Amino acid sequence: MKTALKIFLSISLLSVFAFTQTLNDIKPAVGEMAPEISMVGINGQPLKLSSLRGKVVLVDFWASWCRTCRIENNTYAQAYSKYKNRQFKDGDGFEIFSVSLDTDPTIWKKAIINDRMTWANHVSDFKKWDSQIVTTYNFKYLPHNLVIDKNGKILAKGLFGKNLEDFLVTRLAD
């Protein structure tokens, strides 16, 4: 009987700890360096996340076939317009690096235009969920995002809707 009780308590404790893990604890975690992303940009040339060092960067994982992503693109467009030239404690200006899980370049480019994603940093390897970036950044759903500082350190993850703007406001330079 004591053995059964010990097993039950062990399983209960493991369950509690498993379900209390937050998005920010999943690797790469807040406080860690964001892994490099190097993919083909919308113009057909390679583009690297590290090329944006010095700025606060929203790394956005999305796809044209993801309805929630398409809605969130409006939030990003508004934030980009409002904060792209602002000074932050963590960097000079705000940029967005959009990583698409699309498979069709034509549909991807059309979605960028239709959603008014006016920033220049759009990349995709056109492998959908088979992209190595999914494993590297350890996500299982779209949209997914994180914010990095001027050095590439992850400041926050999972900022959607008003939470993104609220976060950016707290990071503005005085």
DSSP string, 59-70: EEEE-TT-HHHH
Residue 7 has pLDDT above 80, yes or no: no
pLDDT for the residue numbered 1: 59
Percent of all residues in the chain with a pLDDT value above 70, rounded to a whole number:
86
pLDDT in tens, 140-155: 999 999 999 999 999 9
Q: What is the mean pLDDT of residues 81-94?
A: 96
Q: Which domains does the chain have, with CATH numbers?
A: 24-171 (3.40.30.10)
- Choose among 155, 152, 151: nearest CA to 170: 155
Full-model pTM: 0.85
Residues 23, 157 contacting (CB under 8 angstroms): yes
Residues 62, 97 contacting (CB under 8 angstroms): no
Half-sphere exposure of residue 155: CA atoms within 13 angstroms, side-chain side: 21
pLDDT confidence tier of residue 174, bands split at 50, 70 and 90: confident
Percent of all residues in the chain with a pLDDT value above 90, rounded to a whole number:
83
Residue 10 has pLDDT above 90, yes or no: no
pLDDT in tens, 37-77: 999 999 999 999 999 999 999 999 999 999 999 999 999 99
- Residues paired with 39 in a beta bridge: 47
pLDDT for the residue numbered 17: 42
- The H-or-E segment that residue 17 falls in is helix 2-20
- Choose among 168, 147, 148, 170: nearest CA to 158: 147
**What 3-state DSSP class applies to 154?**
strand
pLDDT in tens, 92-120: 999 999 999 999 999 999 999 999 999 99
> Given the structure tokens 């693109």, which residue do they identify?
73
CA distance to 33, 39, 104, 110, per residue, from 107 (Å): 32, 18, 6, 5
Residues 71, 111 contacting (CB under 8 angstroms): no
pLDDT confidence tier of residue 25, bands split at 50, 70 and 90: low
pLDDT confidence tier of residue 3, bands split at 50, 70 and 90: low
